[in-house]
Amino acid sequence: MNKWLKRIIIPFLAPALALYLVFFLYPAAQSLWVSLNDWSGFTRDMRFIGLKNFQEAFKDRIFHRVLLQSVGLVAVGGVLTFVLSLFFTGLLGGKRKGKAFFRAVIFTPNVITMVALATLWGFIYNPRFGLLNNLLRLLGLKSLSDVPWMGPDLVYWSILAAVVWIYVGFYTILFMAGADKIPLAFYDAAKLEGAGSLRMFFTITFPLLWDVISMGLIYWIIDAFMQFEFYYAVSGSFPPIQIWTIPIYVVILAFGKRTPIFRMGYATAVAFFLLVMVALVVTLGRRFLRRGSVEY
Amino acid sequence: MKKRLILTALLLIVLFMPWFLSAQGKPVTVQYFSGWNEGEPYVPLFQKIIADFEAANPNIKINASWNGRENLTKVRPMLLSGNVPEIMDQGGDELTGALVNQNLTFALDKDLAGLAFGSKTTWKDTFKPGQLETYMKGSQTHIIPWWIDTTDFFYNGKLFSRKGFSAPKTWDDFLALCAKIKTGGLPPLAQDGGINFYNVYYFRHFVQRILGNGALLNAAGDKTGSSWDNPGFLKAAKMVEQLAKNGYFIKGFEGYTFPAGQIDFVKGMAAMILISTWLPAETKDSIPADFEYRSFPVPLVAGGKGKTTDLELFQWSFVVLKDAPRKAEAVQFLKFWTQKKYNDEMALNHDAMIAIKGTVNPPSNADAARVMDVATSTSRFNDGVNSAYPEYWQAVLLPADDNLIFGKLTAEQFIAQLKKDSKAFWNK
Amino acid sequence: MERDRLKQASAGQFLTRRLVSAVPSGLANFFLYLWIAFTLFTILWVILASFKTNQQLFENVWSLPRGLNLQSYVKAWKISKMGNYFLNSVLLITISTAGIVFVAAPAAYVLARVAFRGRQLITNVFVSGMSIPQVLLLVPMFMLLRRLLLLDKLIGVGLVYIVVNLPFTIFMLMSFFVTLPGELEEAAAIDGASAFRTFRTVMLPLAGPGISTAFIINFIWNWKEYFWPMVLISSDTKKTVSLGLYGLQGSMQYSADWVGLFAGCVIVMLPTLALYLLMSRRIMSGMTLGALKG
């Protein structure tokens, strides 16, 4: 290996490694320490309480509820997002007029600030002036326009729908890039052997796309569990508990929203829970989904 | 040679004198962390007060941060980084819970014993009776109230006279009125279902009318949860349940995000709303032509301890933080703020009831002001529960109450849940 | 089977026909058009609504604005300080994004193209950072910056931006750097030029597209987010534009000034949308890059 390359290893790597160690890994490791303490973030009065925070999290009914809500987003939101994304992937594959335009439009929500999107959707669901209810009234469906979309029963699903709308764009583009790579020849060969369209989908398309889909699944799991910005901003003043995600719960525990609560130790413990859970799901997912990459 | 040296020295002194002198008169900065948002209608007046003060005191600069209602959560990082603001304002209840009870504020009794701005009386004497006392910490006063609010049922006077409705005095009258309004085709009550502490107004005030002041606070702090067994609480819950069951709240109110509910009210989509007297200040820009703000206090409950002249006070107040550098200038600013001309302007233009004696009556809150003049007792906002037990308030009482008012729990279930959750909360 | 491997053409056409024939074609297309229309409509609606007055908005939500009312923009820019926040964001995000690329590119280059002991380990350390929830770092980062006296300072936020985006940016640039021709380093070494000079004059121009993509992606991401400014900034004047919009949304409730809020939205949306219009393809591929690396 040439000398030039050897010389640059350290100076090129050093800044990134140094910053990463000091400002990322060290805080991450420190979070474990913080989670073992009771701390108001106020004065230096950190009180070591061992695993008590984790015990409390186990019994915390609000945490259970938030966890359930997050899992729901991952599962239901995931199914919806992936079905729709695959649908669009299929629809927009290959030569098609306006393909680039459609792709670009579908992806657009992903380049807009979550706050702006949250404002938009908050207005869409506004009971009196909102776009949804006004559309329903225009279509003569007045009774539907009386439904409280942001009320405690429905707000979870209303916001889930909005989140799906945002992410379908991302996953469609992702899958399309993968679909574009499947060699035409496979389909030729299959057709020669008399395979029908559906069979071709399930024996060629789906398996070869599987790599991308499974990677996408990992991405989605991480993304969905970490949802914060949209949910936090969507209802204006205070997110109702029905749309709390785990990160929201952590922030509320650490800082309060209007009423300062400041349980920083407990908040970090909950966040740590999240990390462990995500890591577990991702690891299991990777093992379960990678039935051997299909080489072609 | 010596002459030259002396001349040079003199020259240097002359050159540097202006700098030295100006450093003496350099402006000091007072930081004001406000709970107001910049866009609120009365903030221009406050900005004027600041400008007037700076003009009258050229060596003091007021640095205002309009942080909005999350003011208190914002101050923590400031405190941690050693950058302590001098003044903060918000509801006295919230200031108490977050700052005063955490020993972060400065006792102002000495300053209160001093003279008020441009006056011969002490600052303390300028306040209406009962105002300073509401949030005292033992014998110390940390909280300077200014804009006070009570909670009442608001209605459009013009609408009521058109339809021949009249303000009820008792609970039974109130129910009859609601029924009458409903059969007339109008929803009786508007409500911002998304604001949980507006929802709890009903239960809180019904409890006061039945059991008097302090009952709610007592029950909230009871670690066994057994105080909730008092039949008065069940009765109050049943009253809320009745309103929900009879469909007196506007349809879909659970999904209303603020300020949809109060806008609905002023636009005439509902007949009444239980809200605090800041309503005119917040909604004046949205009212139609034939609108007259009128209000009546929460009605009497037969056999109950509370009277309609028992006032719950919400006080938008100021505190001075203990570890801030410019406390003296801060107090000077607060005395300047609380002078008659600004009090009157606030009362006239924003219908605010001010805690200082001699302020003119707010035109659109005349009814509430009248009641305040004959108050028989005052209690803290939310009976002091959210200042004494902020986490309990958020985690136990408010969520259970939401379910009660949304009609998801019966009164009995509500009380049972309160008992259970209180016990679990206090015995974590 | 070898014949199959030789053909590398896109299977799009077949994919289309196979997948779509499972659903009535007309219905599928209708749904697509509906989706596109909805997305376009909502974004355009916000833009149009920002030019209305509140009266016009509440009278009829569907109507086009009567005349271009710029009041809401003036109010948002000056009074609600969105102008200040915009400036803050431009400075903060441009500089910190440059910082990210400046730090990540060399590291990615070395990890991608130089074999040395521990390379895989270091790579994994960086890449695994992508699955660490930012919210876990909330409290420790807060404590760390407090100790460094960087709380409530935009520099602190910039530092955090550099660090939290390192994993993805390194990952992304690595996948880019592996695609560059291998002979280049050898050619440079033969020439006898110094390491940095070679990097600057030879590799960097070739790496241009990858680096600029990394810059654009990070710019958009950091422009979008408001979590760290919300946590670390308390002074009103130091807010970034997304955080400012969040605050505007809160204060709007007390003034019912929806059009002002929409104007604020447009102010925030404009830069990223403009970038997107210019280079949508690059942005789409860059943002989804990670998952493609089998």
pLDDT given for residue C132 in this prediction: 85
ipTM confidence: 0.83
B259 vs C contacts (CB less than 8 Å):
253-254, 256
Is 1.10.3720.10 the CATH number for A57-289?
yes
Q: Where are the beta strands (DSSP E) in B150-226?
A: 151-156, 189-190
CB spacing of A23 vs C189 below 8 angstroms: no
Task: Report residue C185's pLDDT band, with 50, 70 and 90 as the boundaries.
Answer: low
pLDDT tens-digit map of C93-106: 999 999 999 999 88
CATH topology of domain C74-292: MetI-like fold (1.10.3720)
CB spacing of A259 vs B395 below 8 angstroms: no
pLDDT given for residue A162 in this prediction: 95
Q: Residue for token digits 């506007």?
A: B250
Q: Which residues make beta-bridge pairs with C271?
A: none
CB–CB of B296/B303 below 8 Å? no
Cβ neighbour number for residue A86 with a 10 Å cutoff: 20
pLDDT given for residue A1 in this prediction: 47
CB spacing of A90 vs C18 below 8 angstroms: yes
Residue A234 to chain C, least CA–CA distance (Å): 9
pLDDT given for residue A2 in this prediction: 61
pLDDT in tens, chain B (428 residues): 677 777 777 777 766 665 555 445 578 999 999 999 877 889 999 999 999 999 999 999 999 988 888 888 778 767 776 778 999 999 999 899 888 988 889 999 999 999 999 889 999 999 998 899 999 999 999 999 999 999 999 999 999 999 999 999 999 999 999 999 999 999 999 999 989 999 999 999 999 999 999 999 999 999 998 999 999 999 999 999 999 999 999 988 988 888 889 999 999 999 999 999 999 998 988 888 889 999 999 999 999 999 999 999 999 999 999 999 999 999 999 999 999 999 999 999 999 999 999 999 999 999 999 999 898 888 999 999 988 888 899 889 999 999 999 999 999 999 999 999 999 889 87
Identify the closest residue of chain A to B95 by CA–CA distance: A259
Beta strand B377-380 with B310-320: parallel, antiparallel or unpaired? parallel
What is residue C134's three-state secondary structure?
A: helix
pLDDT given for residue C9 in this prediction: 39
pLDDT given for residue B181 in this prediction: 95
Torsion of CA C165, C169, C171, C176, to 10 degrees: 170
A268 → closest Cβ in C131, C139, C281 = C139
d(CA C70, CA C238): 25
Q: Counting every residue, how long is chain C?
A: 294
CB–CB of A56/A49 below 8 Å? no
What are the distances in angstroms from CA A14 to CA A8, B368, C104?
10, 69, 10
B24-149+314-369 shares its CATH topology with B151-312+382-426: yes
d(CA C112, CA C174): 5
- pLDDT at C149 > cutoff 80: yes
pLDDT tens-digit map of B256-297: 888 889 999 999 999 999 999 999 998 988 888 889 999 999
Question: End-to-end distance of chain C based on CA atoms, in angstroms?
Answer: 22
CB spacing of C236 vs B66 below 8 angstroms: yes
Residue C235 to chain B, least CA–CA distance (Å): 7
Structure tokens at A233: 């901003």
pLDDT given for residue C186 in this prediction: 66
Q: Where are the beta strands (DSSP E) in B151-280?
A: 151-156, 189-190, 272-276
What are the residue ranges spanned by the domains of chain B?
Answer: 24-149+314-369, 151-312+382-426
Going by C-alpha positions, the residue among C169, C171, C161 that lies closest to residue C134 is C161
The amino acid at residue B390 is P
CATH topology of domain B24-149+314-369: D-Maltodextrin-Binding Protein; domain 2 (3.40.190)
Q: What is the pTM of this model?
A: 0.83
Mean pLDDT value across residues C140-158:
86
Q: Average pLDDT over chain C, rounded to whole? A: 81
Question: End-to-end distance of chain B based on CA atoms, in angstroms?
Answer: 85
What are the residue ranges spanned by the domains of chain C?
Answer: 74-292
**In angstroms, how far is CA B255 from the centroid of its own chain?**
24
Residues B151-312+382-426, CATH architecture: 3-Layer(aba) Sandwich (3.40)
pLDDT given for residue B408 in this prediction: 93
The amino acid at residue A159 is I
Structure tokens at C137: 């770092």
Beta strand A37-38 with B28-34: parallel, antiparallel or unpaired? unpaired
pLDDT given for residue A261 in this prediction: 66
C132 vs A contacts (CB less than 8 Å):
24, 28, 275
Going by C-alpha positions, the residue among C229, C246, C241 that lies closest to residue C267 is C241
CB spacing of B254 vs A235 below 8 angstroms: no
B39 vs C contacts (CB less than 8 Å):
79-80, 248, 251-252, 254-255, 257, 260
For chain A, residues with pLDDT lower than 50 are: 1, 292-296
CA angle B284, B289, B294 (to 5 degrees): 60
Task: Give percent of chain C above pLDDT 90.
Answer: 27
R_g over Cα of chain C: 24
